[in-house]
A and B are shown apart, each in its own frame.
Chain A
Amino acid sequence: MRSAEVVVALFMLGLGALVIFDSVRLGWGWGTEGPEAGYFPFYIGAMICIGSLVTLFQVLLGEQIKGLAVKWIVRAKPARLHHDRRKDHEVFVEWSALRLVLQVLLPAAVYVLGIQLIGIYVASAAYIAVFMVWLGKYGWTRGLIVGVGVSAVTFAMFEIWFQVPLFKGEFNPLSLIGY
Chain B
Amino acid sequence: MEEINALFHGFSVALTPFNLLLMFIGVTLGVLIGVLPGLGGANGIAILLPLTFTMPPTSAVIMLSCIYWGALFGGAITSILFNIPGEPWSVATTFDGYPMAQQGKAGEALTTAFTSSFIGAFFAIVMITFLAPLVAKFALQFGPPEFFAVFFLTFCSFIGMGKEPPFKILVAMMLGFALAAVGIDTVTGQLRLIFGWHELMRGFDFLIAVIGLFGIGEILLSMEEGLSFSGRTAKINTRIVIETWKKLPKYWMTSLRSCVIGCWMGITPGGATPASFMSYGIAKRMSPDGAKFGTGQAEGVIAPETAAHAAGTAALLPMLSLGIPGSPTAAVLLGGLLIWGLQPGPLLFVEQKDFVWGLIASMYLGNIAGLIIVLTCVPLFAAILRVPFSIIAPVIVVICAIGAYTVHNAMLDIWLMLLFGVMGYAFKKLSYPLAPLVLALVLGDQAEGAFRQAMLMSQGDMRIFFSNWLVGSIMGLGLLMLVWPVLGKLVAQLRKSAA
Which residue numbers of A lie inside 8 Å of B, CB to CB?
Answer: 1, 4-5, 8, 12, 15-16, 18-19, 22-23, 26, 30, 34-41, 44-45, 47-48, 50-52, 54-55, 58, 97, 100-101, 103-105, 108-109, 111-112, 115-116, 120, 124, 127-128, 131-132, 135-138, 146, 150, 154, 158, 162, 164, 166-167
Which residues of chain B are near A22, meaning CB under 8 Å? 192-193, 195
Task: Check if A120 sits within 8 Å of B181, measured CB to CB.
Answer: no
Supposing A41-B178, A100-B226, A104-B393 touch, asked if A120 and B167 sit within 8 A by C-beta, the answer is: no
| Beyond A1-B430, A39-B455, 18 additional pairs, beta carbon < 8 A | A8-B430, A12-B175, A18-B193, A34-B452, A35-B452, A37-B188, A38-B192, A41-B177, A44-B178, A45-B178, A52-B167, A104-B393, A108-B418, A112-B415, A116-B411, A120-B402, A131-B390, A136-B390
B460 contacts A by Cβ under 8 Å: yes
Jot down 12 A-B pairs with beta carbons below 8 A, ordered by A: A8-B430, A15-B178, A26-B192, A30-B460, A37-B187, A44-B181, A52-B167, A58-B167, A104-B219, A112-B414, A124-B401, A166-B406
Task: Check if A167 sits within 8 Å of B426, measured CB to CB.
Answer: no
Which residues of chain B are near A36, meaning CB under 8 Å? 188
- In the complex the two chains form, what is the Cα distance from A150 to B398 in whole Å? 9
- In the complex the two chains form, what is the Cα distance from A1 to B430 in whole Å? 8
Which residues of chain A are near B51, meaning CB under 8 Å? 162, 164
Supposing A37-B187, A127-B397 touch, asked if A47 and B391 sit within 8 A by C-beta, the answer is: no
Task: Check if B395 sits within 8 Å of A150, measured CB to CB.
Answer: yes
Task: Check if B187 sits within 8 Å of A166, measured CB to CB.
Answer: no
Which residues of chain A are near B277, meaning CB under 8 Å? none
- In the complex the two chains form, what is the Cα distance from A136 to B387 in whole Å? 12
* Leading 3 A-B pairs by shortest Cβ distance: A136-B390, A51-B171, A131-B394
Task: Check if A132 sits within 8 Å of B390, measured CB to CB.
Answer: yes
- In the complex the two chains form, what is the Cα distance from A44 to B226 in whole Å? 38
Which residues of chain B are near A30, meaning CB under 8 Å? 460
Which residues of chain B are near A135, meaning CB under 8 Å? 390
Which residues of chain B are near A166, meaning CB under 8 Å? 402, 405-406
A149 to chain B, nearest CB (A): 10
Which residues of chain B are near A111, meaning CB under 8 Å? 397, 401
Which residues of chain A are near B185, meaning CB under 8 Å? 26, 37
* A-B pairs under 8 A by CB, number: 160
B364 to chain A, nearest CB (A): 30
Q: Please pick, from B165, B220, B398, the residue contacting A104 in the complex, using a CB distance under 8 A.
A: B220
**Size bracket, chain B contacts:** 35 or more
Which residues of chain A are near B452, meaning CB under 8 Å? 34-35, 39-40
Which residues of chain A are near B414, meaning CB under 8 Å? 112, 115, 167
Most buried by A among B393, B409, B448: B393
Within 8 A of A (CB), among B87-128: none
- In the complex the two chains form, what is the Cα distance from A48 to B169 in whole Å? 10
- In the complex the two chains form, what is the Cα distance from A16 to B388 in whole Å? 42
Which residues of chain B are near A8, meaning CB under 8 Å? 426-427, 430, 432
B354 to chain A, nearest CB (A): 26
Main secondary structure of the interface of B (DSSP, over half): helix
Task: Check if A19 sits within 8 Å of B193, measured CB to CB.
Answer: yes
B174 contacts A by Cβ under 8 Å: yes
Within 8 A of A (CB), among B201-243: 216, 219-220, 223-224, 226
B353 contacts A by Cβ under 8 Å: no
B9 contacts A by Cβ under 8 Å: no
Which residues of chain B are near A150, meaning CB under 8 Å? 395, 398
B355 contacts A by Cβ under 8 Å: no
A40 to chain B, nearest CB (A): 5
Task: Check if A48 sits within 8 Å of B192, measured CB to CB.
Answer: no
Q: Please pick, from B170, B190, B223, the residue contacting A26 in the complex, using a CB distance under 8 A.
A: B190
Which residues of chain A are near B448, meaning CB under 8 Å? 40
Within 8 A of A (CB), among B46-66: 50-51, 54
- In the complex the two chains form, what is the Cα distance from A10 to B295 in whole Å? 44
Which residues of chain B are near A136, meaning CB under 8 Å? 388-391
Task: Check if B415 sits within 8 Å of A103, measured CB to CB.
Answer: no
Supposing A4-B429, A101-B223 touch, asked if A35 and B456 sit within 8 A by C-beta, the answer is: yes
B425 contacts A by Cβ under 8 Å: yes
Q: Please pick, from A5, A15, A51, A154, the residue contacting B167 in the complex, using a CB distance under 8 A.
A: A51
Supposing A12-B171, A112-B415 touch, asked if A41 and B395 sit within 8 A by C-beta, the answer is: no
B22 to chain A, nearest CB (A): 15
Task: Check if B405 sits within 8 Å of A120, measured CB to CB.
Answer: yes
Task: Check if A100 sits within 8 Å of B223, measured CB to CB.
Answer: yes
Residues 175-199 of chain B: 1 if any A CB is under 8 Å from the residue's CB, otherwise 0?
1011001000101101011010000
Which residues of chain A are near B224, meaning CB under 8 Å? 97, 100-101
A50 to chain B, nearest CB (A): 8
CB closest chain-B residue, reference A12: B171
Which residues of chain A are near B171, meaning CB under 8 Å? 12, 47-48, 51-52, 55
Which residues of chain A are near B401, meaning CB under 8 Å? 111-112, 115, 120, 124
Task: Check if B390 sits within 8 Å of A138, measured CB to CB.
Answer: yes
B422 contacts A by Cβ under 8 Å: yes
- In the complex the two chains form, what is the Cα distance from A1 to B426 in whole Å? 11
CB closest chain-A residue, reference B432: A8
Task: Check if B175 sits within 8 Å of A48, measured CB to CB.
Answer: yes
